[in-house]
Amino acid sequence: MNNNKFHLTGLVAAPFTPFDANGALNLAMIPRLADHYVATGVSGAFVCGTTGEGSSMSNEERMIAAEAWRKATAGKLKLIVHVGHNSLVDSRALAAHAEKIGAEAVAAIAPCFFRPGSVSGLVDWCAGIASAAPKTPFYYYHMPAMTGVNFAMVDFAPLAVKRIPNFGGIKFTHENIMDFSSALAAGEGGYDVLFGRDEILLSALVMGATGAVGSTYNYAAPIYNRVIKAYKAGDMAAARREQLKSIQFIEVFCKYGGMSANKVIMKLIGLDCGPVRQPLSQITSAQEAAMKADLERIGFFEAVRAG
C-alpha cells in the first residue's frame, strides 16, 4: 500500500460545467453550485470530468474553470480536478496547473483513441500524468463503458502503488462490484476506491465503500445521505427505499436523453447550468416538460430537498 495520508470520503459531486446560452463558460454560477453542495451535505467537487464535459472544453477553459472552482470551494469542499486527455502533454499541463492552484487531488481517465494495450501500459500512462503534479494525490478514473479500457482494478492498483508515489486511488465507475470489492480489500485502506455508479451506491457500501463520486450528487445528495445514514444504522429497509428513489429518477432522465437531460435537472431545481456542448444535443422543451412531470409524479423534488 502507498503511504497516502489523503482520503476522499462521503459524497463528491461531479459538477455540470455551467455554460451561457452561447455555450461560453458561465463562471458566475460556480460559487452558487459550491454553496448548494455545502448546504446539501456534499464533501467535494470532481470538476471537468464526464459530467463536467471536460473533454468538450479547451485546456485553457479547463484551467479557467478549475481556478474558479478552487476559489469557490477553498476551505469548504475538497477539489479534485479531472485532467484526463488523449494527449499526455495536455494532461500533464492540466495536472501541473491543478497542483499550482492547490487542488486536493487530480484524476485522469484512460486515453480512449489510442488505448494502452496492458495494465502496465495504463499504469505508465498514469505515472506520466501523476509526475506532473508530484505533491498532489492522483486518482485513476476507471470508466470502461466510455473508454473501452477495461483492465481489472485489482491488477492495476498494486502496480500503481509501486510506480506512482502520489497514487491516491481509483474512481471506479463500473457495475463490476466484484472488481470494486477486490481492489478495495487489496488496498487495506492504503488508497481510496471511490464508487461511481450512484444507482447502486448501497451495494458498494455493503462492500466497504467510504467515498463516492457522482453526477446525481449535484442535486440528490439528501437522498444518498439518507441511504448512508440508514445503512450505518443497520436499517436496510430504509436504505433500500432511498436507493430505489435514486434508481427511479435516474431511469427518468435516462429516458429523456441521458446526460443532456441530467443537466436540465439543475435548471428544474433553480441552478440552471445552461446547455450541453456538442457533440451532446440539448433536449427539447417538450422533453423537459415531460421529464419535470415524471419527476413530480415520483416525488423527486420533495425527496431532494435538503434537511
Ligand X SMILES: CC(=O)N[C@H](C=O)[C@@H](O)[C@H](O)[C@H](O)CO
Give me the residues that bind ligand PYR (CB under 6 A), please: 14, 46, 49-51, 82, 196, 213-215
250 binds ligand X (CB under 6 A): yes
Which residues lie across from 192 on neighbouring strands? 169
17 binds ligand X (CB under 6 A): no
Nearer to ligand PYR, 223 or 299 (CB): 223
Smallest gap from Cβ 75 to ligand X, in A, equals: 26
Pairing between β-strand 138-142 and β-strand 167-172 as defined by DSSP bridges: parallel
Exposed (0-12), middle (13-18) or buried (19+): which is 86, by Cβ within 10 Å? Answer: middle
| Piece in contact with ligand X (CB under 6 A), picked from 96-104, 193-201, 282-290, 297-305 | 193-201
All three cell numbers of 303, joined, read: 425527496
Total residues binding ligand X (CB under 6 A): 12
Beta-carbon contacts of 263 under 8 Å, excluding residues fewer than 6 positions away, are 16, 51, 273, 275, 276
55 binds ligand X (CB under 6 A): no
All three cell numbers of 172, joined, read: 471506479
* Residue 46 binding: pick among ligand PYR, ligand X, none (C-beta 5-8 Å cut-off by kind): ligand PYR
DSSP symbol at 110:
P
Residue numbers 118-177 binding ligand X by CB under 6 A: 173
Smallest gap from Cβ 36 to ligand PYR, in A, equals: 16
Nearer to ligand PYR, 49 or 274 (CB): 49
Tell me if 119 is assigned to a ligand binding site: no
Alpha carbon separation from 151 to 115, 140, 145, 246, 278 (Å, rounded): 11, 12, 12, 28, 29
Nearer to ligand X, 92 or 197 (CB): 197
Which of residues 2, 216, 218, 225 is near ligand X by CB under 6 A?
Answer: 216
Residue 172 backbone dihedrals phi, psi, to 5 degrees:
-100, 95
Tell me if 264 is assigned to a ligand binding site: no
Nearer to ligand X, 54 or 137 (CB): 54
| Piece in contact with ligand X (CB under 6 A), picked from 181-189, 214-222, 284-292, 295-303 | 214-222
Q: Is 141 a catalytic residue?
A: yes
Alpha carbon separation from 307 to 12, 202, 246, 260, 296 (Å, rounded): 18, 21, 17, 28, 19
First to last CA, the chain: 38
Nearest to 149 by CA among 128, 168, 178, 170: 170
Nearer to ligand PYR, 57 or 188 (CB): 57
Given the residues 37, 139, 140, 141, the one annotated as active site:
141
43 binds ligand X (CB under 6 A): no
196 binds ligand X (CB under 6 A): yes
Residue 279: asked if its preceding bond is cis (omega within 30°), the reply is yes
- For residue 2, the one-letter residue type is N
51 binds ligand X (CB under 6 A): yes
Q: Residue ranges for the binding site for pyruvate?
A: 51, 213
Using CB under 6 A, list all residues that contact ligand X. Answer: 14, 50-51, 173, 196-199, 214-216, 250
Active site residues: 141, 171
Q: Residue ranges for the binding site?
A: 51, 213
